[in-house]
């Protein structure tokens, strides 16, 4: 009788642990679903901004190789000033980080879902790697500050304002730098598009596997 009582107690405790873990899984899934929905919206909006930056940067590259730009920098100044940086995407990855740091990914019983979650984590890392490269290595704006006569250009004069003497001498350097920036933007857009697509796919998979709306 004692053995039976102990065994029944063990079964009851085991059942309780399974119930608790199942409830935690459901909480993580609900939270992750909200995070993915947020990421899909934010990454989509950032993609639109980055694509506009890419078009603007390509226009800058075209102006830099256009004869006469050295003597009339007005349009180049307006464009470069508007597209001097790039839009950032910040994932709402609170649930993903909690799953990883606490070892709770094991609670996600459906392997196809856990695999998709980890794939999403990988594509986020790829995006942030490119973002970091652009911010640290390619984000130096020293050429911009040497090109223009800012005081004259900011006086809203309609008269053509030439590049500075120093700026005219680094026109080729400016061209190559902006062309590299355009390539980097293309890479960033590609990676963020993969983030968006993977988030959409992961969300759809979770909704299907867990019968969520």
- Look at 169 and 5; give whichever has higher pLDDT: 169
Q: Is the pLDDT reported for residue 103 higher than 90? A: no
For residue 1, what pLDDT is reported? 54
Q: Dihedral sign for Cα 67, 183, 145, 156, please.
A: positive
- Look at 212 and 116; give whichever has higher pLDDT: 116
Domain count, the chain: 1
Mean of the per-residue pLDDT values of the chain? 88
Give 128-155 pLDDT, tens digit per residue: 999 999 988 777 889 999 999 999 999 9
Domain encompassing residue 121: 2-209
Residue 20 pLDDT class (50, 70, 90 cuts): very low
DSSP 32-94: HHHHHHHHHHHHHHHHHHHHHHHHHHHHHHHHHTSTTTTT--HHHHHHHHHTSS--------H
For residue 140, what pLDDT is reported? 80
Q: Is the pLDDT reported for residue 23 higher than 80? A: no
Residue 190 pLDDT class (50, 70, 90 cuts): very high
The overall longest dimension of the chain from CA atoms, in Å, is 101
- Among 42-51, 153-162, 198-207, name the one with the lowest average pLDDT: 153-162
């Amino acid at each position: 009788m004692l053995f039976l009582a102990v065994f029944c107690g063990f079964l009851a405790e085991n059942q309780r642990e399974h119930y608790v873990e199942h409830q935690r899984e459901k909480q993580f899934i609900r939270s992750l679903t909200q995070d993915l929905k947020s990421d899909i919206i934010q990454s989509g909006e950032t993609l639109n901004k980055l694509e506009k930056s890419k078009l603007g940067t390509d226009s800058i590259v075209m102006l830099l190789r256009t004869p006469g730009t050295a003597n009339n920098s007005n349009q180049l100044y307006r464009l470069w000033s508007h597209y001097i940086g790039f839009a950032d995407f910040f994932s709402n990855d609170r649930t993903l980080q909690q799953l990883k740091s606490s070892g709770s990914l094991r609670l996600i019983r459906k392997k196809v879902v856990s695999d998709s979650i980890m794939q999403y984590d990988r594509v986020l890392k790829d995006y942030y790697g490119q973002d970091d490269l652009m911010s640290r290595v390619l984000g130096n704006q020293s050429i911009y500050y040497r090109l223009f006569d800012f005081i004259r250009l900011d006086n809203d004069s309609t008269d053509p304002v030439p590049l500075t003497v120093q700026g005219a001498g680094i026109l080729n350097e400016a061209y190559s730098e902006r062309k590299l920036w355009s390539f980097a933007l293309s890479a960033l857009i590609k990676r963020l598009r993969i983030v968006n697509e993977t988030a959409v796919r992961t969300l759809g998979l979770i909704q299907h596997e867990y019968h969520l709306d």
